[in-house]
Structure 1
Amino acid sequence: MDSKQLLEIAAKACDDKSGQEIVALDMKEVSLIADYFLICSGNTERQVDAISKSIKDAVEEQGKEVKRIEGKDQARWVLVDLEDVVVHIFHKEERAYYNLEKLWGDASKVDLPI
């Protein structure tokens, strides 16, 4: 499975749990961290947690390993490390504050099939 397919699986998992403002950034030309960033938000800590669990389950169903999940205790900004894809799940208030889309403004957006 390539990183684009992994991105699409994670994006669908976000959408399945009503993740909002789902945005994918192509990071290949601007960072060595990952091929893609996937960013979405939830309205509550419970929804943020549910989105992260949905991603973990969907990725593991495809036989891929989740490298690490950070931030689940507070569920205000959860990071799911899928190695080539890094998913940022924000509580809506934190998303506006950190504004990763602007921070990584040199990265182009990726069209998602959701």
Structure 2
Amino acid sequence: MALSAAASSPATAPVSDARFDAEEILALALARLEDDKAEDIVSIELRGKTTIADYMVVASGRSQRHVGAIAEHLVEALKERGVKGVRIEGMPTCDWVLIDASDIIVHVFQPEVRGFYNIEKMWSAALPGGAGQMPRD
């Protein structure tokens, strides 16, 4: 399925077919993160390296409130688009929020927490030759 430019719009109607490919969910997540002014967005391809997901996205918010808002908006956008089974963890404190959309896992951190855990470096180092990391502007 191709993701249209209008798919990132909140007015997009839900899709009745709940089957999405990983690239479509990734594109929707990246567009939503950019719309919400998430910072330092990094996408790491995990396909063929692990069974937990096809892609991992790591982003930062400027504060607990910003991290929480980014996460809430992303979950809403995924659900509006018809993506089923989206799970979220970490909302009470909003230092680190994880959104699990099955094939895509999104981590939204406050900058100091992201620096402490540095998961994108860990996952890139775990991949052969560090391959798979795709920085986002």
Q: One fold, TM greater than 0.5?
A: yes
Paired amino acid for 2:70 = I
**Aligned match of 2:117:** 98
Does the 8 Å CA contact 2:54/2:104 hold for their aligned counterparts? yes
Once the two structures are TM-superposed, the CA of residue 110 in structure 1 deviates from its matched residue by: 3.6
Give 5+ residue unaligned stretches, structure 1: none
Tell me if 1:109 matches 2:133: yes
Once the two structures are TM-superposed, the CA of residue 54 in structure 1 deviates from its matched residue by: 1.2
Once the two structures are TM-superposed, the CA of residue 31 in structure 1 deviates from its matched residue by: 1.3
Can you list the C-alpha shifts for 1:67-106, whole angstroms capped at 9, x where unaligned? 3100000000000010000000001111111111110112
Does the 8 Å CA contact 1:39/1:87 hold for their aligned counterparts? yes
Paired amino acid for 1:57 = E
Does the 8 Å CA contact 1:36/1:85 hold for their aligned counterparts? yes
TM-score, reference length from structure 2: 0.77
Q: In structure 2, how many angstroms separate the alpha carbons of the residues matched to 1:54 and 1:19?
A: 11
Count residues in correspondence: 113
Q: Which structure would you say has the larger Rg?
A: 2
Q: Which has the higher contact order (CA 8 A, sep 6+)?
A: 1
Return the structure number with greater strand share.
Answer: 1
Paired amino acid for 1:32 = T
TM-score, reference length from structure 1: 0.92
Secondary structure of 2:109's aligned partner: strand
Q: In structure 1, how many angstroms separate the alpha carbons of the residues matched to 2:35 and 2:84?
A: 20
Can you list the C-alpha shifts for 1:32-74, whole angstroms capped at 9, x where unaligned? 1100001100110000001001111111121112431000000
**Aligned match of 1:39:** 58
> Percent identity between the aligned chains?
35
Segments of 4+ in structure 1 off by > 4 A? Answer: none
